[in-house]
Amino acid sequence: MPLIASNIHFAYPRARPILTGVSASFAPGAITVLVGPNGAGKSTFLKLLLGALRPQSGSITLDSRPLASIPARARAARLAYIPQHSYVAAPFSVRQVVTLGRFALPPDDRAIDTALDHLSLTHLASEPFGALSAGQQQRITLARALAQLGWPSTPTAISASSTPAAPTRILLADEPFSAMDPRFALHGAQTLRDLAAAGVAVIIVLHDLTFALRLAHGGGAVLLDSSGVITAHGSATDVLTSPEAAAAFGVTLSLHETPAGPVITPVLPSTAISRAPAPCPVQSASRSLAP
Protein backbone atom coordinates (compact mmCIF):
# COMPACT_ATOMS: atom_id res chain seq x y z
CA MET A 1 0.00 0.00 0.00
CA PRO A 2 1.55 3.36 -1.00
CA LEU A 3 -0.34 5.53 1.52
CA ILE A 4 -0.76 4.22 5.07
CA ALA A 5 -2.05 5.96 8.19
CA SER A 6 -1.27 4.15 11.44
CA ASN A 7 -2.83 4.92 14.84
CA ILE A 8 -3.38 8.61 14.11
CA HIS A 9 -4.35 10.93 16.96
CA PHE A 10 -5.06 14.57 16.20
CA ALA A 11 -6.58 17.60 17.92
CA TYR A 12 -6.53 21.28 17.05
CA PRO A 13 -5.05 23.60 19.71
CA ARG A 14 -7.32 24.02 22.75
CA ALA A 15 -9.97 21.79 21.19
CA ARG A 16 -11.32 18.32 21.74
CA PRO A 17 -9.64 15.38 20.00
CA ILE A 18 -10.73 15.13 16.37
CA LEU A 19 -9.26 11.74 15.40
CA THR A 20 -8.47 8.90 17.79
CA GLY A 21 -6.44 5.85 16.85
CA VAL A 22 -7.25 6.09 13.14
CA SER A 23 -5.57 3.54 10.87
CA ALA A 24 -6.26 3.02 7.17
CA SER A 25 -4.45 2.12 3.97
CA PHE A 26 -5.16 3.25 0.44
CA ALA A 27 -4.32 1.26 -2.67
CA PRO A 28 -3.38 2.54 -6.13
CA GLY A 29 -6.00 2.04 -8.79
CA ALA A 30 -8.90 2.10 -6.32
CA ILE A 31 -11.47 4.57 -5.02
CA THR A 32 -11.95 4.84 -1.26
CA VAL A 33 -14.80 6.95 0.12
CA LEU A 34 -14.63 8.55 3.57
CA VAL A 35 -18.02 8.90 5.22
CA GLY A 36 -19.29 9.93 8.62
CA PRO A 37 -21.45 12.51 10.38
CA ASN A 38 -20.64 16.22 10.50
CA GLY A 39 -17.63 16.89 12.69
CA ALA A 40 -16.29 13.34 12.51
CA GLY A 41 -12.92 14.52 11.21
CA LYS A 42 -13.14 13.53 7.54
CA SER A 43 -11.75 16.80 6.16
CA THR A 44 -9.07 16.84 8.85
CA PHE A 45 -8.07 13.30 7.91
CA LEU A 46 -7.65 14.35 4.27
CA LYS A 47 -5.41 17.25 5.32
CA LEU A 48 -3.31 14.86 7.39
CA LEU A 49 -2.97 12.51 4.41
CA LEU A 50 -1.96 15.51 2.31
CA GLY A 51 0.70 16.56 4.80
CA ALA A 52 -0.92 19.95 5.43
CA LEU A 53 -1.43 18.92 9.07
CA ARG A 54 0.69 16.69 11.28
CA PRO A 55 -0.70 14.25 13.84
CA GLN A 56 0.14 14.50 17.53
CA SER A 57 0.95 10.79 17.43
CA GLY A 58 0.90 7.97 14.94
CA SER A 59 2.45 7.87 11.48
CA ILE A 60 1.59 8.45 7.84
CA THR A 61 3.84 6.92 5.21
CA LEU A 62 3.93 7.33 1.45
CA ASP A 63 5.66 4.42 -0.28
CA SER A 64 7.19 3.42 3.08
CA ARG A 65 8.64 6.89 3.62
CA PRO A 66 7.38 9.18 6.41
CA LEU A 67 5.12 11.74 4.76
CA ALA A 68 6.55 14.54 6.91
CA SER A 69 10.04 13.84 5.55
CA ILE A 70 8.99 14.47 1.94
CA PRO A 71 9.51 18.11 0.85
CA ALA A 72 6.32 20.02 0.09
CA ARG A 73 7.22 20.42 -3.59
CA ALA A 74 7.82 16.69 -3.96
CA ARG A 75 4.49 15.95 -2.27
CA ALA A 76 2.74 18.37 -4.62
CA ALA A 77 4.13 16.45 -7.59
CA ARG A 78 2.31 13.34 -6.38
CA LEU A 79 -0.71 14.38 -4.30
CA ALA A 80 -3.50 16.45 -5.83
CA TYR A 81 -6.02 17.99 -3.42
CA ILE A 82 -9.53 19.30 -3.99
CA PRO A 83 -10.70 21.22 -0.89
CA GLN A 84 -14.29 21.44 0.25
CA HIS A 85 -14.26 25.18 -0.44
CA SER A 86 -11.89 26.96 -2.80
CA TYR A 87 -10.72 30.48 -2.10
CA VAL A 88 -8.56 32.41 -4.55
CA ALA A 89 -7.54 35.77 -3.09
CA ALA A 90 -5.92 37.09 -6.27
CA PRO A 91 -8.08 37.98 -9.30
CA PHE A 92 -6.96 34.89 -11.21
CA SER A 93 -8.62 33.72 -14.39
CA VAL A 94 -9.94 30.19 -14.74
CA ARG A 95 -6.91 29.20 -16.79
CA GLN A 96 -4.52 30.66 -14.23
CA VAL A 97 -6.18 28.66 -11.44
CA VAL A 98 -5.88 25.44 -13.44
CA THR A 99 -2.26 26.30 -14.25
CA LEU A 100 -1.52 26.37 -10.50
CA GLY A 101 -1.80 22.59 -10.58
CA ARG A 102 1.51 22.49 -12.47
CA PHE A 103 3.60 24.65 -10.12
CA ALA A 104 5.62 21.68 -8.80
CA LEU A 105 5.84 20.05 -12.23
CA PRO A 106 7.22 20.88 -15.67
CA PRO A 107 5.00 23.27 -17.67
CA ASP A 108 2.46 21.42 -19.77
CA ASP A 109 0.03 23.55 -21.76
CA ARG A 110 -1.48 20.43 -23.27
CA ALA A 111 -2.40 19.09 -19.83
CA ILE A 112 -4.03 22.41 -18.95
CA ASP A 113 -5.93 22.69 -22.24
CA THR A 114 -7.14 19.10 -22.04
CA ALA A 115 -8.29 19.45 -18.43
CA LEU A 116 -10.26 22.58 -19.33
CA ASP A 117 -11.83 20.87 -22.32
CA HIS A 118 -12.62 17.69 -20.39
CA LEU A 119 -14.72 19.66 -17.89
CA SER A 120 -16.31 21.99 -20.48
CA LEU A 121 -14.42 25.03 -19.20
CA THR A 122 -12.59 26.20 -22.33
CA HIS A 123 -15.12 28.96 -23.02
CA LEU A 124 -14.63 30.23 -19.45
CA ALA A 125 -10.83 30.15 -19.49
CA SER A 126 -10.44 33.95 -19.40
CA GLU A 127 -13.20 34.57 -16.85
CA PRO A 128 -12.28 35.56 -13.28
CA PHE A 129 -12.53 32.56 -10.97
CA GLY A 130 -14.28 34.55 -8.23
CA ALA A 131 -17.10 35.64 -10.56
CA LEU A 132 -18.27 32.09 -11.26
CA SER A 133 -20.79 29.92 -9.45
CA ALA A 134 -19.86 27.41 -6.77
CA GLY A 135 -20.52 24.52 -9.14
CA GLN A 136 -18.33 26.04 -11.84
CA GLN A 137 -15.58 26.67 -9.29
CA GLN A 138 -15.72 23.00 -8.28
CA ARG A 139 -15.24 21.99 -11.91
CA ILE A 140 -12.25 24.34 -12.08
CA THR A 141 -10.61 22.86 -8.98
CA LEU A 142 -11.17 19.38 -10.41
CA ALA A 143 -9.55 20.56 -13.67
CA ARG A 144 -6.61 21.89 -11.65
CA ALA A 145 -6.19 18.44 -10.08
CA LEU A 146 -6.35 16.78 -13.51
CA ALA A 147 -3.66 19.14 -14.82
CA GLN A 148 -1.55 18.32 -11.78
CA LEU A 149 -1.92 14.60 -12.42
CA GLY A 150 -1.35 15.02 -16.16
CA TRP A 151 -4.69 13.46 -17.04
CA PRO A 152 -6.42 12.92 -19.45
CA SER A 153 -3.73 14.24 -21.82
CA THR A 154 -1.13 11.75 -20.61
CA PRO A 155 -2.93 8.77 -19.05
CA THR A 156 -0.04 6.43 -19.88
CA ALA A 157 2.26 8.61 -17.78
CA ILE A 158 -0.03 8.08 -14.80
CA SER A 159 -0.07 4.35 -15.35
CA ALA A 160 3.71 4.31 -15.63
CA SER A 161 4.02 6.30 -12.41
CA SER A 162 1.89 3.72 -10.61
CA THR A 163 4.09 0.71 -11.25
CA PRO A 164 5.98 -0.85 -8.32
CA ALA A 165 9.18 0.82 -9.54
CA ALA A 166 7.68 4.31 -9.62
CA PRO A 167 5.69 6.45 -7.15
CA THR A 168 1.92 6.29 -7.11
CA ARG A 169 -0.11 9.45 -7.63
CA ILE A 170 -2.96 10.24 -5.28
CA LEU A 171 -6.09 12.38 -5.48
CA LEU A 172 -7.62 13.64 -2.23
CA ALA A 173 -11.06 15.17 -2.79
CA ASP A 174 -13.36 16.74 -0.19
CA GLU A 175 -17.00 16.83 -1.36
CA PRO A 176 -15.91 17.78 -4.90
CA PHE A 177 -19.40 17.52 -6.44
CA SER A 178 -21.58 19.12 -3.74
CA ALA A 179 -22.47 22.20 -5.80
CA MET A 180 -22.43 20.64 -9.28
CA ASP A 181 -25.56 19.99 -11.29
CA PRO A 182 -26.38 16.30 -11.96
CA ARG A 183 -24.75 16.18 -15.39
CA PHE A 184 -21.38 17.46 -14.23
CA ALA A 185 -21.49 15.49 -10.97
CA LEU A 186 -21.94 12.28 -12.95
CA HIS A 187 -19.23 13.33 -15.40
CA GLY A 188 -16.93 14.12 -12.49
CA ALA A 189 -17.62 10.74 -10.92
CA GLN A 190 -16.74 8.98 -14.17
CA THR A 191 -13.55 11.04 -14.33
CA LEU A 192 -12.53 9.72 -10.90
CA ARG A 193 -13.26 6.16 -12.03
CA ASP A 194 -11.06 6.73 -15.07
CA LEU A 195 -8.29 8.10 -12.87
CA ALA A 196 -8.47 5.02 -10.67
CA ALA A 197 -8.41 2.80 -13.75
CA ALA A 198 -5.19 4.60 -14.76
CA GLY A 199 -3.59 3.71 -11.42
CA VAL A 200 -4.34 6.77 -9.29
CA ALA A 201 -5.32 6.20 -5.65
CA VAL A 202 -8.54 8.20 -5.21
CA ILE A 203 -9.66 9.14 -1.68
CA ILE A 204 -12.89 11.13 -1.51
CA VAL A 205 -15.17 12.51 1.21
CA LEU A 206 -18.88 12.23 0.40
CA HIS A 207 -22.15 12.60 2.31
CA ASP A 208 -24.56 11.18 -0.27
CA LEU A 209 -24.41 7.46 0.54
CA THR A 210 -26.00 6.34 -2.74
CA PHE A 211 -23.53 8.43 -4.73
CA ALA A 212 -20.69 7.08 -2.60
CA LEU A 213 -21.76 3.47 -3.13
CA ARG A 214 -22.07 3.85 -6.89
CA LEU A 215 -18.79 5.75 -7.18
CA ALA A 216 -16.78 3.28 -5.11
CA HIS A 217 -18.49 0.12 -6.38
CA GLY A 218 -15.78 -2.50 -6.17
CA GLY A 219 -13.66 -0.13 -4.08
CA GLY A 220 -13.47 0.62 -0.39
CA ALA A 221 -14.96 2.84 2.28
CA VAL A 222 -13.91 4.17 5.68
CA LEU A 223 -16.55 5.16 8.27
CA LEU A 224 -15.69 7.66 11.00
CA ASP A 225 -18.11 8.14 13.89
CA SER A 226 -18.77 11.40 15.73
CA SER A 227 -15.88 10.76 18.12
CA GLY A 228 -13.34 10.48 15.29
CA VAL A 229 -12.95 6.72 15.53
CA ILE A 230 -13.07 4.36 12.54
CA THR A 231 -15.94 1.97 13.17
CA ALA A 232 -15.96 0.26 9.77
CA HIS A 233 -13.34 -0.13 7.04
CA GLY A 234 -13.72 -2.47 4.09
CA SER A 235 -15.67 -2.83 0.86
CA ALA A 236 -17.93 0.11 0.05
CA THR A 237 -21.05 -2.07 0.00
CA ASP A 238 -20.33 -3.61 3.39
CA VAL A 239 -19.39 -0.34 5.10
CA LEU A 240 -22.09 1.92 3.66
CA THR A 241 -24.91 -0.53 4.43
CA SER A 242 -23.59 -1.62 7.83
CA PRO A 243 -25.28 -1.28 11.22
CA GLU A 244 -22.32 0.90 12.19
CA ALA A 245 -23.18 3.36 9.41
CA ALA A 246 -26.81 3.54 10.53
CA ALA A 247 -25.68 4.12 14.11
CA ALA A 248 -23.17 6.79 13.12
CA PHE A 249 -25.79 8.79 11.20
CA GLY A 250 -28.68 8.08 13.57
CA VAL A 251 -31.01 6.94 10.79
CA THR A 252 -32.52 3.83 9.30
CA LEU A 253 -30.65 2.80 6.14
CA SER A 254 -32.33 0.65 3.50
CA LEU A 255 -30.53 -0.72 0.45
CA HIS A 256 -32.59 -1.18 -2.72
CA GLU A 257 -31.47 -2.41 -6.12
CA THR A 258 -32.84 -0.47 -9.09
CA PRO A 259 -32.19 -0.64 -12.85
CA ALA A 260 -30.04 2.49 -12.46
CA GLY A 261 -28.00 0.96 -9.64
CA PRO A 262 -28.17 0.55 -5.87
CA VAL A 263 -29.95 3.16 -3.76
CA ILE A 264 -29.41 3.71 -0.03
CA THR A 265 -32.42 5.39 1.55
CA PRO A 266 -31.96 7.10 4.94
CA VAL A 267 -35.06 7.52 7.11
CA LEU A 268 -35.23 9.59 10.27
CA PRO A 269 -36.32 7.53 13.27
CA SER A 270 -39.62 8.35 14.92
CA THR A 271 -37.81 9.69 17.99
CA ALA A 272 -36.66 13.30 18.25
CA ILE A 273 -33.78 14.36 16.02
CA SER A 274 -31.83 15.47 19.07
CA ARG A 275 -31.65 11.93 20.38
CA ALA A 276 -28.12 10.54 20.33
CA PRO A 277 -27.63 7.72 17.79
CA ALA A 278 -27.95 4.30 19.38
CA PRO A 279 -26.49 0.94 18.30
CA CYS A 280 -28.57 -0.48 15.50
CA PRO A 281 -29.57 -4.09 14.79
CA VAL A 282 -29.91 -5.27 11.21
CA GLN A 283 -33.49 -5.77 10.04
CA SER A 284 -34.18 -8.38 7.41
CA ALA A 285 -36.73 -6.52 5.32
CA SER A 286 -35.09 -5.06 2.22
CA ARG A 287 -31.77 -4.99 4.06
CA SER A 288 -33.10 -2.25 6.34
CA LEU A 289 -30.70 -0.98 8.99
CA ALA A 290 -32.20 0.96 11.88
CA PRO A 291 -30.93 2.49 15.11
**Domain definitions of the chain by residue range:** 3-88+153-240, 245-291
The pLDDT-based confidence of 81 (bands split at 50, 70, 90) is very high
Instruction: Report the range of poorest mean pLDDT among 33-42, 221-230, 242-251, 272-281.
Output: 272-281
Q: Whats the size of the chain, residue-wise?
A: 291
Rounded to whole angstroms, how far apart are CA atoms 98 and 120?
13
Residue 73 confidence (pLDDT) above 70? yes
CATH entry, 3-88+153-240, from 3.40.50.300, 3.30.590.20, 1.10.1740.10, 3.40.630.30: 3.40.50.300
The pLDDT-based confidence of 290 (bands split at 50, 70, 90) is very low
Q: What pLDDT is stored for residue 2 in this prediction?
A: 87
The pLDDT-based confidence of 41 (bands split at 50, 70, 90) is very high
Q: Are the beta carbons of 28 and 162 closer than 8 angstroms?
A: yes
Q: Are the beta carbons of 10 and 17 closer than 8 angstroms?
A: yes
- R_g of the chain, CA atoms, integer Å: 19
Mean of the pLDDT values across residues 102-115?
A: 93
Q: What pLDDT is stored for residue 277 in this prediction?
A: 53
Mean of the pLDDT values across residues 254-270?
A: 93
